[in-house]
Amino acid sequence: MSAARDQMAVVLHRPQKLVNIAGVVRAMKNMGLRRLRLVQPAEYDPYDIAGIAHRSDDLLAATQIFDTLDDALADCVYVVGTSARPHTLLRRLTPRAAAPDLLARAAHGPVALLFGPEDNGLTNADLDRCHALLQIPTDPGYASLNLAQAVLLVAYELWMAGDPPPPAAPAQPPASAAQLERLFATAEEALWAVEFFKAHLAEGMLRTLRSLAHRAEPSAREAALLTAICMETINYLRRTGRQ
Amino acid sequence: MSAARDQMAVVLHRPQKLVNIAGVVRAMKNMGLRRLRLVQPAEYDPYDIAGIAHRSDDLLAATQIFDTLDDALADCVYVVGTSARPHTLLRRLTPRAAAPDLLARAAHGPVALLFGPEDNGLTNADLDRCHALLQIPTDPGYASLNLAQAVLLVAYELWMAGDPPPPAAPAQPPASAAQLERLFATAEEALWAVEFFKAHLAEGMLRTLRSLAHRAEPSAREAALLTAICMETINYLRRTGRQ
């Protein structure tokens, strides 16, 4: 839970399709946003949405419906609109650049992330309510994102700004140099045993195996398994009377 | 246009719904990706997809359909799977952390971005084909992204990473997925031949070997040498009458 993220309100102005609202709900749940506000939705039925966006009852129970955009924005301390439309007066930021600032502003109250209707986006009158514009980077030849995808990308950047990426999985204890040397010695013995060096130069081959193992950075357990493969090859040959 | 981005191949393994393929196509177009490969799609009709993802004819005309995952990955020099499933042997990266590296690897050939079926994701056998895993950061309480959204976020990070710097000293050509699969098959045959699997469980052991090889990233030449070791072990046993 992030107090700052909880202050982010996704405001959908005149969304037209229920399936898109459901997609927005899912994207919000994925990225830890909780506040959804709808202004004059053309279709809205929490039950139908919950059928598409599973396990979203908490978010839907808290969703607010408004008659006007001004009502929906009334308590917000900052409003950013998402638009590809030019509006020369407003600052234009990528979601990545804006995210830390948006989260910081949430200390003062709700911050609105405003998205327009699917077909035409926000009007100039809507943009007049905005402090700044978010412009999501895309291929300029194919810039049209659907509503849920635009919300997802903005919410993702807020999530990334609020939480550092997960640390790499705790590694298993690495093989020691001594364990690796034991592996290399056993491998060499096994390769002689199967007469591999009749056809290949030992020195270059062994160097290649060493560099492969060092790049793979085997754990102690993995080095032991590789050594066992070599040992058991040798043992098999002995057992079957070949050596 | 980015030469590196053009080498990124989105590989959908057994996608179930046409509408999701269309969503993937849109996301790819938004973020400037061009290569789509489908393995056993349950539903596929370019005409229907173009009706959902407008102006995507160029991408659909170049889309390839494969019978097996191995065929789809055969020419790829690097494979990353997207999975929330734990797989302790593989390196796990966020798309943001991985993007510059993926673009740099594209200097050597196609790089596969592998996504599993909508319902169950990639299996362990699918993950066995991967060099590393992408884990998209989400709220851990609601981690399930739909297919098009997962592709969108990975493609977005590749777009944001921009054009990579020219690669460092030209490495040796990396082993292709097909070469690695040949190595794994020959290694397995050799391990059976020396009766290694009398004392060790084959499945876990083979998975360990796969992950070691993927982490080591052998060159084509190195993979050929490792395959030769296995082959000549088998040949030696035959030659000396053991098999």
Report the length, in residues, of chain B: 243
What pLDDT digit, counting tens, does each position of A199-229 carry?
888 888 888 888 788 878 788 899 999 999 9
Nearest beta carbon to residue A212 from set B27, B216, B242: B216
Mean pLDDT of all residues in chain B? Answer: 90
Number of CB atoms found within 10 A of residue A164's CB:
9
Nearest CA-CA distance, residue B217 and chain A, Å: 8
- Quick: pLDDT tens for B57-88: 999 999 999 999 999 999 999 999 998 776 66
Token pair in block for residue B155: 């493609």
Is residue A126 scored above 80 in pLDDT?
Answer: yes
Mean pLDDT along residues A30-52: 95
Question: Is pLDDT above 80 for B131?
Answer: yes
Task: Give the distance from residue B55's alpha carbon to the nearest chain A alpha carbon, in angstroms.
Answer: 8
The CA-based angle B5-B8-B13, given to 5 degrees, is: 155
* Residues of chain A neighbouring B52 (CB-CB closer than 8 A): none
Average pLDDT over residues A109-120: 92
Residue A174: which residues within 8 A CB-CB, separation 6 or more?
Answer: A217, A218, A219, A220
pTM of the model: 0.84
How many CB atoms sit inside 10 A of residue B220's CB? Answer: 16
The CA distance from A117 to B242, in Å, is 74
Backbone angles phi, psi at A67, to 5 degrees: -85, -30
Give the pLDDT mean for B2-16. Answer: 94
Whether A212 sits inside 8 A of B232 (CB atoms) is: no
Give whichever of A82-91, A126-135, B90-99 has the largest mean pLDDT: B90-99
Report the pLDDT value the prediction gives residue B199, as an integer from 0 to 100: 82
- The alpha carbon of residue B148 is apart from the nearest alpha carbon of chain A, in Å, by 9
Q: How far apart are CA A229 and CA A182, in angstroms?
A: 12
Give the pLDDT of residue B165: 54
Give the contacts of A86 (CB within 8 A, at least 6 positions apart).
Answer: none
d(C-alpha A174, C-alpha A168), whole Å: 15
The partner residues of B113 in beta bridges, in order of sequence, read: B10, B80
Cα angle B31-B37-B39, degrees, rounded to a multiple of 5: 140
**Choosing among B2, B138, B211, which should be mutated to test the A contact, i.e. which has the most A CBs within 10 A?**
B138
B196 or A177: whose pLDDT is higher?
B196
Quick one: closest CA in A to B32, which residue?
A139
- For residues B110-130, give the mean pLDDT: 92
All residues of chain A having their beta carbon less than 8 Å from the beta carbon of residue B159 are 137-139
Determine the residue among A54, A154, A233 to mutate to test chain B binding: the one whose Cβ has the most chain B Cβ atoms within 10 Å.
A233
Q: Do residues B126 and B177 lie in contact, with contact meaning Cβ atoms separated by under 8 Å? A: no
Average pLDDT over residues A146-164: 91
If you average pLDDT over residues B140-158, what whole number do you get? 94
| Subunit contact A166:B135, Cβ cutoff 8 A | yes
Residue B87: per-residue pLDDT: 65
**Three-class SS string for B1-35?**
CCHHHHCEEEEEECCCCHHHHHHHHHHHHHCCCCE
Whether the per-residue pLDDT at B149 is higher than 50: the answer is yes
Q: Kindly determine whether residue B31 and residue A138, on different chains, have CB atoms separated by under 8 Å.
A: yes
Model confidence at B89: pLDDT above 80 = no
Report residue A88's pLDDT band, with 50, 70 and 90 as the boundaries: low
Yes or no, beta carbons of B159 and A137 under 8 Å apart: yes
In this prediction, residue B154 carries a pLDDT of 98
Q: What is the pLDDT of residue A60?
A: 95
Contacts of A153 in chain B (CB under 8 A): 152-153, 156
Give B182-213 pLDDT, tens digit per residue: 999 999 999 999 999 888 888 988 988 998 88
Selected residue with higher pLDDT from A203 and B2: A203
How many interface pairs between A and B have CB atoms less than 8 angstroms apart?
130
Cβ neighbors of B87 (< 8 A, separation 6 or more) are B124, B127, B133
Instruction: With CB atoms and an 8 Å threshold, state whether A139 touches B236.
Output: no
The predicted pLDDT at position B241 comes to 81
Cα B96 to Cα B100: distance, rounded to the nearest angstrom: 8
Answer yes or no: is pLDDT of B168 > 70: no
Say whether pLDDT at A171 is over 70. no
Task: Write the pLDDT tens digit of every residue in A15-34.
Answer: 999 999 999 999 999 999 99
Contact B109, B149 (CB under 8 A): no
Determine, for residues B149 and A30 on separate chains, whether the beta-carbon distance falls below 8 Å. Answer: yes
| Mean pLDDT of all residues in B11-29 | 96
pLDDT higher than 60, residue A167: no
Strand partners, A35: A9
Mark yes or no for CB contact A165/B225 under 8 Å. no
CB contact under 8 A, B138 and A31: yes
3-state SS class at A134? strand
CB atoms within 10 A of CB A6: 14
- The answer to whether residue A164 scores a pLDDT higher than 60 is no
| pLDDT at residue B169 tops 70 | no
Cβ atoms within 10 Å, residue A91:
11
Burial class (CB in 10 A: 0-12, 13-18, 19+), A31: buried
Strands (E) located in chain A: 8-13, 35-39, 64-66, 78-82, 91-93, 111-115, 132-134
